[in-house]
Structure 1
Amino acid sequence: MTPSAPSRKLATAAGLCYLLTHVTAIGAVALYGPVLHDTGYVLGAGADRRVLLGALAEILLLIGIVGTACALYPAVRRHGEASAVGYVALRTLEAAVIAIGIVALLAVLTLRRQPPAGSDPAALLTTARGLLAVHDWTFLLGPNFVCGANTTVLAALMFRSRLVPRYVAVLGLVGGPLLLATAVAELFGLYAQLSTIGALTALPVFAWELTLALNLLIRGFRPAPALRAPEGTDSTGAVGAAARGAVG
């Protein structure tokens, strides 16, 4: 008997959550421009509304990240429950690290709007730069290290379960380790986080997530192959064992 595919609703939810993460991640980077690229932002007129919209975009990003984990877990757990739990944990950790980066940028806005009484401009500038450094490190840890790890785990589960076409899983199996290697290179300063090399090495993960999302939205999950029965038993399980006992 061929097992049925997991719920189409779960596939649709996971696909929509992946698309949400892409839109909000790109939107947040664009909206954060003033605070990320103006070293004197904390002392100037500021573009606080734009930065706040960026923070809102990243909050929606967090929802999308956790949403993918919640939607995919019921579908993949029968193919490796420990790995499925690990994927949920890593995806949640990725969201938590990104949340720290959001708080760091919002703290810069607070310093600009309500600087402590008698504060020295140089001290404000130093503090703001420190908070921006926190954001930069969370960007390396969350969307690079942790994302590379959870991509690898999920791609392996998808490859094993065949819930999506094999070529989709292979994209993740290539992209995840490559993103991890890139994160290590960036950690040791071989090249900058926002560089041409960094962008190129992130493309396979981008392609994996986008292809996975479209497959889940258009086709849903494929029926998983039947789990192999223990050697010496037939597909009817207990009925076959009882029949052999009667013959014996």
Structure 2
Amino acid sequence: MSSTRRIAIVTGVLFLVTEVAAIGGLALYRPVLHDAAYVLGSGADTRVLLGALCEFVLALAVTGTGAALYPVLRRQNEGAAVAYVCGRLLEAAVIVIGIISVLSVVTLRRQAEGAPSTDEASLVTAGQALVAFHDWAFLFGPNFVLGANTLVLAGLMYTSRLVPRFIAVLGLAGGTMICASATAVLFGAYEQVSVAGSLAALPVFAWEVALIVRLIGKGFDERPDGRTAP
């Protein structure tokens, strides 16, 4: 197996991990994100901690995709390859910031449990502030930055023809739509987790699934001269 083929498989697996970990983290976080009085109740800390673990795996996999693809992308356009790696690092960093804010809610709930005399209204306000911090991190990391990274990668894939162009076009459409959706959320058009937000995220999800299948199943396309793409 050539080194390029191994890179394609590793990259495909890492993208698959990002999909599974992102969905798992969002599902497991539900109690803390949707219960304004979470800090006052019995809590679902184990579930939330598992969600944080999923998100940490997500951050590692996001970083890994940039590192894995760099040797291939730099031979197409070194500047864009560096930009993609830096973008993935930024995306991972914002995800970790969101994780810390959610874990801080868990800490707050545990402290409140050990000190029943604490002012409940203040606790709820602090908990809601931390959840709001997570929501903004979620908007800028897995939305704005993800969209920008998708546009960079899909653009490189389109010009280099490392994958069939319909896959690259799907990525260009997905990156554009998720950035537009994030802008709409920023200005209050609709909620991040909503029907409209989910529909806007479908193209980028489809792009990543198509990329996963292509990279694991076949790898990068050959060049017109018959040589394997770098």
Taking structure 2 as the reference length, what is the TM-score of the superposition?
0.93
Deviations 1:161-187 (A, max 9, x none): 111111110101111111111111110
Gaps of 5+ in 1: 227-248
Aligned-partner Cα distance in 2 for 1:83–1:188: 30
| SS, match of residue 75 in structure 2 | helix
Q: 2:104 matched to 1:107?
A: yes
Contact 1:87 1:150 in 2 (8 A): yes
Aligned-partner Cα distance in 2 for 1:6–1:174: 30
Deviations 1:177-232 (A, max 9, x none): 11111111110011111111111111110000110011000001112456xxxxxx
| Counterpart residue number, 1:31 | 28
Aligned-partner Cα distance in 2 for 1:220–1:136: 36
Aligned-partner Cα distance in 2 for 1:29–1:139: 10
Aligned-partner Cα distance in 1 for 2:178–2:3: 29
| SS, match of residue 74 in structure 2 | helix
- Number of residue pairs the alignment of both structures matches: 222
Aligned-partner Cα distance in 2 for 1:198–1:16: 26
Deviations 1:22-79 (A, max 9, x none): 1011111111111111111101100100100000111111111011111111111111
| Counterpart residue number, 2:162 | 163
Contact 1:174 1:204 in 2 (8 A): yes
Aligned-partner Cα distance in 2 for 1:220–1:176: 22
The letter for the 2-side match of 1:38 is D
Contact 1:176 1:205 in 2 (8 A): yes
Q: 2:84 matched to 1:87?
A: yes
| SS, match of residue 134 in structure 1 | helix
Matches within 5 A, 1:152-231: 152-225=151-224
Q: Which protein is bigger by CA-based radius of gyration?
A: 1
Superposition RMSD in Å: 1.4
| Counterpart residue number, 1:133 | 132
Aligned-partner Cα distance in 2 for 1:47–1:191: 28
| Counterpart residue number, 2:61 | 64
Q: 1:29 to 1:47 in 2, by over 3 A?
A: same
| Counterpart residue number, 2:13 | 16
| SS, match of residue 114 in structure 1 | helix
| SS, match of residue 175 in structure 1 | helix
Cα deviation, residue 6, structure 1:
5.9
| Counterpart residue number, 1:229 | none
Aligned-partner Cα distance in 2 for 1:35–1:98: 16
Aligned-partner Cα distance in 1 for 2:59–2:223: 29
| SS, match of residue 183 in structure 1 | helix
Cα deviation, residue 18, structure 1:
0.4
Q: 2:44 aligns with which of 30, 44, 47?
A: 47
The letter for the 2-side match of 1:43 is L
Contact 1:175 1:202 in 2 (8 A): yes
Matches within 5 A, 1:139-150: 139-150=138-149
Aligned-partner Cα distance in 1 for 2:7–2:208: 16
The letter for the 2-side match of 1:98 is I
Aligned-partner Cα distance in 1 for 2:64–2:39: 34
Q: 2:70 matched to 1:73?
A: yes
Aligned-partner Cα distance in 2 for 1:37–1:181: 25
Contact 1:97 1:141 in 2 (8 A): yes
Gaps of 5+ in 2: 226-230
| SS, match of residue 219 in structure 2 | coil
